[in-house]
């Protein structure tokens, strides 16, 4: 039976559900603090003196990694992300220009954990001689039963403490590639780690303003497990029941999701910048809950979006999530 038919059959029952009615009513927010005001504004990092021989050329597979490299390296590095803003790393296909960029790089930074496996062939085909580091090496992951993610859920950046581990791995690689800049990299990494700690504390405080019974998430694809684990939220369902955005839900899965939304009194479904929200919009319409389609998950946003840096992505997503749930 097509997903749309299943959704239509269930909506009659769900529309009368007290849980759905309660979710629509929401929680009064007049006495609650403004979420944006709770989140920190990052102070400038220590200056980085440019290298006399020119910046270290670095290729990062994702925009999030590229931003972390830029934060640690400052003017001593010139970093390029293979993924453009809003691009989906799960189905990315490198272009010929990416091959050239990888071939000429002084250092290559991969994410690992199955997110950017395409980069392995890219590096091999380019005949690159630059060192390749995997930023997630050593990070304890949330386990996954999916064969493509045997090493665990790759979305580790949604926990700032795990992001700090990636920063440490990046700083260590920069020290090896550019020993003269070691003190600069250490100082900037330490300052950025403090920014991450401040962000972590602020997100926890913001999430704490959500009534406990409403700290539940339904997302478009399974990307927010680390955020939920870190800040005491529960992921009760996903439209695309996979860590990958390329999977498709069955009619049965969508029917079960609608039942979950009704039973749990879910107020909103969260969609994202890297994949189509059409099915999520359909589910939200049938369930008569809000669709929140401005999360940033697997990629940074464009300049001016507010999510063009890692700190901006986390700040933007926290505001969106907390304001939609409380």
Pairing status of strand 268-272 against strand 56-60? unpaired
Between CA 180 and CA 325 the distance in angstroms is 48
What residues form DSSP beta bridges with 240? 221
| pLDDT on residue 241 | 81
Kindly report, residue by residue over 121-144, the tens digit of the pLDDT.
Answer: 999 999 999 999 999 999 999 998
Looking at residue 17, what is its pLDDT? Answer: 34
pLDDT at 145: 82
Look at residue 253 in the predicted model and tell me its pLDDT: 92
Please state, in angstroms and rounded to a whole number, the distance separating the CA atoms of residues 14 and 21: 9
- CATH C-level class of 56-199: alpha beta
Convert 212-246 to b/e letters by CB count within 10 Å (16 or more is b). eebbbbbbbbbbbbbbbebbebebbbbbbbbbbbe
Angle between helices 251-264 and 278-287 (to 10 degrees): 50
Instruction: Sketch the domain layout of the chain as residue ranges.
Output: 3-38+204-325, 56-199
Residue 31 vs residues 27, 34, 35, 326: alpha-carbon distances, Å: 10, 9, 12, 11
Model pLDDT for residues 68-92, shown as the tens digit of each residue: 999 999 999 999 999 999 999 988 9
Query: Does the pLDDT of residue 16 top 80, yes or no?
Result: no
pLDDT of residue 146: 81
For 18, other C-beta atoms within 10 Å of its C-beta total 9
Fill in the DSSP letter of residue 32: S
Report d(CA 40, CA 304) in Å as an integer: 18
Mean pLDDT of the chain: 90
The residue-averaged pLDDT of 111-120 equals 97
- Label residue 18 by pLDDT band (50, 70, 90): very low
DSSP line for 83-122: SPTT--GGG----HHHHHHHHH-SEEEE--TTSSTHHHHH
Per-residue pLDDT band for 237 (boundaries 50, 70, 90) equals very high
Measured in degrees and rounded to the nearest 5, phi and psi for residue 270 equal -100, 120
Residues facing residue 109 across a β-bridge:
60, 133
**What's the whole-model pTM score?**
0.88
Q: What is the pLDDT of residues 264-276, one digit of tens each?
A: 999 999 999 888 8
Region 226-246: mean pLDDT is: 90
Tell me: pLDDT of 3 over 50: no
Smallest CA-to-CA distance from 163 within 307, 314, 321 is with 314
* pLDDT (average), residues 109-129: 97
Top pLDDT among 250 and 155 is at 155
Q: How confident is the model at residue 30 (pLDDT cuts 50, 70, 90)?
A: low
Strand, helix or coil for residue 67: helix
What CATH class does 3-38+204-325 carry? alpha beta
- d(CA 116, CA 198) in angstroms, rounded, equals 29
């Amino acid at each position: 039976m097509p997903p749309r038919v299943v959704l239509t059959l269930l909506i009659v029952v769900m529309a009368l559900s007290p849980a759905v009615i309660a979710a629509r009513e929401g929680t009064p927010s007049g006495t609650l603090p403004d979420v944006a005001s709770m989140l920190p504004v990052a102070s400038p990092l220590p200056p980085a003196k440019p290298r006399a021989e020119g910046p270290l050329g670095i290729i990062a597979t994702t925009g999030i990694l590229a931003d972390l490299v830029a934060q640690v390296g400052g003017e001593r590095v010139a970093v390029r992300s293979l993924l453009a803003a809003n691009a989906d790393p799960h189905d990315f296909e490198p272009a010929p220009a990416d091959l050239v960029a990888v071939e000429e790089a002084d250092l290559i930074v991969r994410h690992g954990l199955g997110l950017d496996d395409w980069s392995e062939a890219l590096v091999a085909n380019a005949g690159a001689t630059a060192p390749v580091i995997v930023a997630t090496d050593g990070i304890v992951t949330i386990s996954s039963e999916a064969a493509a993610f045997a090493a665990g859920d790759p979305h580790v950046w949604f926990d700032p403490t795990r992001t700090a581990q990636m920063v440490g791995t990046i700083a260590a690689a920069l020290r090896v590639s550019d020993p003269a800049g070691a003190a600069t990299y250490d100082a900037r990494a330490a300052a950025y780690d403090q920014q991450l700690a401040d962000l972590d504390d602020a997100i926890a405080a913001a999430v704490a303003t959500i009534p406990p019974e409403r700290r539940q998430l339904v997302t478009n694809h399974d990307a927010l497990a680390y955020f939920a684990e870190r800040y005491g939220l529960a992921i009760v369902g996903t439209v695309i029941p996979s860590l990958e955005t390329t999977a498709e839900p069955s009619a049965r899965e969508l029917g079960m999701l609608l039942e979950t939304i009704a039973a749990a009194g879910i107020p909103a479904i969260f969609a994202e910048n890297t994949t189509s929200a059409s099915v999520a919009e359909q589910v939200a319409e049938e369930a008569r809950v809000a669709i929140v389609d401005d999360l940033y998950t697997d990629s940074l946003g464009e300049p001016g979006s507010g999510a063009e840096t890692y700190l901006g992505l986390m700040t933007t997503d926290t505001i969106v999530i907390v304001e939609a749930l409380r």
